[in-house]
Amino acid sequence: MEQLTHRDLRSLTTTLQRLYGQTDLEAFPAHAVSSLAHIIAADVRGYNEVNFRRRRLVAITDPVDALDPRDEELASHHLHEQPLFTAYQRTKDGRAAAMSDFLTTRQFHRLTLYNEMYRRRNTEDLMAIFLPTPSASTILFTFSRSQRSFSERDRQKLNILRLHLIQAYNNAEVATRLRQEAALLKQAFNESHSGIIVLTPEGRIQSITDQAGHWLRTYFGKTWKESPHALPELLHRWVRCQLHVRQRRDEIPHPQTPFIATSEDGQLIVRLLSPYDTGQSLLILEEHPCSVLPMLRTFSGFTPRETDILNWLSQGKTNKEIATLLALSPNSIRSRLEEIYKKLGVSTRTAAVRRFLEIQRT
C-alpha cells in the first residue's frame, strides 16, 4: 500500500473541515462535490443518487456544465451495463472501485452506455465510492478521467474520505431535520393560545414565540425596557427565586404556584418548567380575560396586589423578599398582609397560606 504524503494528509484535513461545516442537507451534495477537488484529480466529479428499482438517477457535477440534459436519462436506462452499480448491488461494498477493475478498455468501448454517453464526455475510466442510506436510493461520488490513470493512492484517499462523507452526510441530515422540526414547533406555538419562552441557564431569553412577546409588552410595557434577551425585571426576579428554591437541598419547598401579572383586561399566568437534568428552563404563558379570571379576585374580594402578595406568601417568601419582588416597602407589605388576614379570617402567615391554597382548589 502506498504511503500517503504530508500533502495528502493536509488536503484531506482541509476537505474534512469543509465537509463537516456544511449542515444543510440540500446544499450538502454540491458543497461536497466542490470540496473533493482538493483530494483527487479528475476531469469531472459527481454526486449521484440512484434508485435501482425505478432505474432513476439524479446527478450534480463539477464542473456544472459537464452534465448533458440527456445524460441522466441515458445512465438510468443503461444502469444494468454499469459494473460499479451492479457490483455494489451484489456485495454492498461501498469502498473505492474503478471501471477498469471490471472491464478492459475494449469491453468498456463495446457498451451502449459508453458509445452514447461516456465517449461524448471523453471518459475512459471512472472511480466511485458508495454511501449507504436507509432509503431506496443509493448515493455515490464519482470521479471521471480521460485515461486509465487511477492509482492505489487515489483509492486509499477515497476510502479514508468515504467514512467521513458518511458521517458528514448523516450530520447534515439530522441537523436539517431538527431545524425543520423546530420551525414546525415554533409555528405551532405561535398559532396556539399559549406563549413559550425558552431561557438560558442564566435566566435570559434564548427564544420566544410571537404570542409570548406580545403578552410581555402588554403586561410589562410600562416597566420593561424591551430587550431581545432580557425578561422584565419583576418576572426575572421571580424566575431566579424559583430556580433558587429548586436548587436548595436543606428543606422541602412549598408547592410552586405560577406568577400572575394583572391588568384592567385580564391576568397573565406564567408557569416555570425547569427540568433537573438540563440547564435550560421553559416559561409557559397563558392569558385569562376578565370574564374567566380566577374566583380569588371577585368572590373573595382581593385586589390584584393582594393576590400577588398571597402568591409570593404561598411560596415561602419573607416580607422583605416580597417587597423587593413587587417594588414596595416592607411596611407596605406588612400593612397589606394585615388586611389580607382580616379577609381570610386568620391571624398567621401559615394559616393564610393554607386558606389561600384551599380557595384556589375550589
CA distance 267 to 157: 65
Helices and strands (DSSP H and E) totals, the chain: 14, 10
- Give the cell for residue 280: 435550560
Cβ-count burial 249-262 (b if 16+ within 10 Å, e if not): eeeeeeeebbbbbb
193: pLDDT strictly greater than 80? no
Per-residue pLDDT for 289 more than 80? no
HSE of 170 in the Cβ direction (CA atoms, 13 Å)? 10
Span 289-312, average pLDDT: 63
DSSP 277: T
Beta bridge mates, 62: 45
pLDDT at site 251: 54
Query: Lowest-confidence range among 6-10, 16-20, 73-77, 123-127?
Result: 73-77
Q: Is 301 left (phi over 0), alpha (psi -120 to 50) or beta?
A: left
Q: Does domain 185-361 have CATH number 3.40.640.10?
A: no
pTM above 0.75, yes or no: no
Task: In the chain, list all ranges with CATH 1.10.10.10.
Answer: 185-361
Phi, psi (degrees; rounded to nearest 5) at 299: -70, -45
Check if the beta carbon of residue 215 is closer than 8 Å to that of residue 287.
Answer: yes
Would you give the DSSP letter of residue 4? P
Distance between CA atoms of 302 and 338, rounded to whole angstroms?
A: 13
74 touches 117 (CB < 8 A): yes
Which CATH number is 6-182's, of 3.40.50.300, 3.20.20.30, 3.30.450.80, 3.90.330.10?
3.30.450.80
Distances (CA, A) of 322 to 71, 237, 246, 260, 308: 75, 10, 18, 14, 9
Is the pLDDT at 149 greater than 70, yes or no? yes
As beta bridge partners, residue 302 has none
CA 298: distance to chain centroid?
44
State pLDDT tens for residues 199-241: 888 888 888 888 888 899 888 876 677 677 889 888 888 888 7
Residue extent(s) of CATH 3.30.450.80 domains in the chain: 6-182
* SS3 at position 193: coil
